[in-house]
A and B are shown apart, each in its own frame.
Chain A
Amino acid sequence: MIEIEHVSLWYGKEFKALDNVSETISSGQTVIICGTSGSGKSSLLRCINGLERFQDGKITVDGLSVQHARTNIQKLRSRIGMVFQHFELYPHMTALENITLAPVRVAKKSKQLARKEANELLSRVGILDQADKYPGELSGGQKQRVAIARALAMKPKIMLFDEPTSALDPEMIKEVLDVMVDLAEAGMTMVVVTHEMGFAKKVADEIIFMDQGKVIEKGNVHMFFRRPQTERAQQFLSRILV
């Protein structure tokens, strides 16, 4: 479903953010990407839906090459939902309007239908009662759940999560992870950049460990935690699993 082949990305001439990354993610899988900050995790995620342009290699999603001139990138993006570390809800719109914007403007649904579906999504993430509130009136956990609902509104086949719980207070992490676990169990294809190792153990089919723009270890989650192969992964794990 997602085919990443020898992708390299430079920022400027000096800094290589991604270095010959290859990875295949099949439909229905949940893949966790972890690694230190600056290791290229978020860049890789943004390359998948074309928010970042890479200079070398190829990414195919659902048979369509992301950077091909003839690929309708807007259409492709609407099949890939994305959730950000800092929520990025539109502050001038209510929770409901945040969710209905793309279905109305991109998928050309009627406002009525979009609203009905948005309400269903809000109840799925457990915050139907917050529909008419502005992001500024919501807690971090509620904001992130609205953001997940917004990403789901385009009925994506793939969901990308970029450190979805890193900006949350500890007591709100669970409410967001619960929604994500439900999604994974419902068969959504998910690529998740996270350091939530409990979550990883619960749902991940595969884990990828990145360092300095390279994938240096990948495989089964439980194996990775029990017996990391590389020294960098051992160091990383010893630091996050206190």
Chain B
Amino acid sequence: MDLSVIVRNAPFMLGGLVLSFELAAITIVAGLTLGIILASARLSSKPVLYYPATIYVHFFRGLPLILVIFWLYFLAPVILGTSVNEFTSAAIAFVVFEAAYFAEIVRSGIQAVPTGQVMAAHSTGLSSLQTARFVVIPQALHNMVPALVTQAVVVFQDTSLGYVIGLREFLRRVNLTDAREARSVELYLFAGLVYFSICSLGSLASQRLEKRRAEGQ
């Protein structure tokens, strides 16, 4: 074991975390936004909204993320007609893919609100919009926050897959360091430790929320 290899290369490797965080942040914000739109369409009684959204969600949930990353990397330039850098193509792949997962979390959170709540709100004269705003959405958010936090952790872990198209995020930089230093054991253990620490914080937050939720009821 030679831990000095980690100390020596830490600034370079950890620099990749910035990119990992950026990619995760973009995916969470844009993926969740798209997910909310998809979930609303999935809950709609209009077939023109329901079917496309449902097919979209099932399609992407049926594919491995790594495949979608490759697709976008090779297809995006063909479709857009210009070259696309690794980060942009990875970000699009992540958003498009994770949106399907966020959509299902949002949908089940909304569906978990009992219909009796909607009836009660309507019976007092509240409009559908008011019912959504004051009665359904607050409860749905409450239902879905733990799952959303867990999914955010998964997104962060998944950013390491950007590595397959040469995105210089954290894992790719560890990999490059290893090519130079030939210290695989130390370096990959270090990478594991970094991912584990960050994700544990997320899981801890999720557990806390879950507990607070249980106490609130």
Contact = CB atoms under 8 A, between A and B. Distances in A.
B125 A136 contact: no
B125 A92 contact: no
B4 interface: no
A81 B114 CA distance: 19
B65 to A, nearest CB: 35
B108 to A, nearest CB: 18
Contacts of B58: none
Given A91-B139, A92-B139, A77 B123 contact: yes
B213 to A, nearest CB: 11
A159 B139 CA distance: 27
Interface in B138-180: 138-139, 142
Nearest to A135: B217
A102 B139 CA distance: 17
B43 interface: no
B216 A136 contact: yes
Given A90-B135, A92-B139, A77 B122 contact: yes
Given A86-B116, A136-B216, A92 B124 contact: no
A151 B123 contact: yes
Contacts of A134: 216
Contacts, number: 69
A105 B134 contact: yes
A4 B114 CA distance: 29
Given A74-B127, A105-B134, A88 B120 contact: yes
Instruction: Using C-beta atoms within 8 Å of the partner chain, give the interface range for chain A.
Output: 20 to 34
Given A84-B116, A86-B116, A105-B134, A91 B217 contact: yes
A52 to B, nearest CB: 9
B125 A102 contact: yes
Interface string A119-160: 000000000000000101000000000010011011000001
Interface in B74-124: 114, 116-117, 119-124
A109 B208 CA distance: 38
A31 interface: no
Interface in B56-80: none
A82 interface: yes
13 contacts: A46-B119, A75-B125, A81-B123, A84-B120, A88-B117, A88-B120, A92-B139, A101-B126, A101-B134, A102-B125, A105-B130, A107-B125, A150-B124
